[in-house]
Amino acid sequence: MNKITCDECRHEYELTHLNTNLKEQLPNNIERYYIECPNCKAQYTTHYLDDELKKVQAEIKRLQKIYPGKVKQKNKLVRLRKKILLMHNTLKAQVENGE
């Protein structure tokens, strides 16, 4: 199981669907997803999503459904996964550094 230790209170808890679906709406249509410590309610951001990221995510889901697809589709899936990782990091930096 995926166990998480809270940095604030050292409480150890399991990552379940109960505390992985928290979402906060930010300006510019950006959504912040976070988990919350069940003990002290400290919040930890897991990732951010914006419209562009959602589009790429939807495309990845679509390609996964038709998997195993042709080589061309597999390559595209690999490319999109790399792209989405980069986009996640860029968006995170943008939101957290206020750029």
Q: Give me the residues that bind Zn ion (CB under 5 A), please.
A: 6, 8-9, 11, 37, 39-40, 42
User: Which amino acid, 98?
Assistant: G
51 within 8 A of 16, measured Cβ to Cβ: no
Distance CA 16, CA 19 (A): 6
76 within 8 A of 56, measured Cβ to Cβ: no
Distance CA 56, CA 54 (A): 5
Query: CB-wise, 16 or 39, nearer to Zn ion?
Result: 39
Provide the minimum distance between the beta carbon of 2 and Zn ion in the complex, in angstroms, as a whole number: 16
1 within 8 A of 12, measured Cβ to Cβ: no
Query: CB-wise, 5 or 75, nearer to Zn ion?
Result: 5
Query: CB-wise, 9 or 85, nearer to Zn ion?
Result: 9
Provide the minimum distance between the beta carbon of 16 and Zn ion in the complex, in angstroms, as a whole number: 15
Provide the minimum distance between the beta carbon of 80 and Zn ion in the complex, in angstroms, as a whole number: 35
Provide the minimum distance between the beta carbon of 33 and Zn ion in the complex, in angstroms, as a whole number: 18
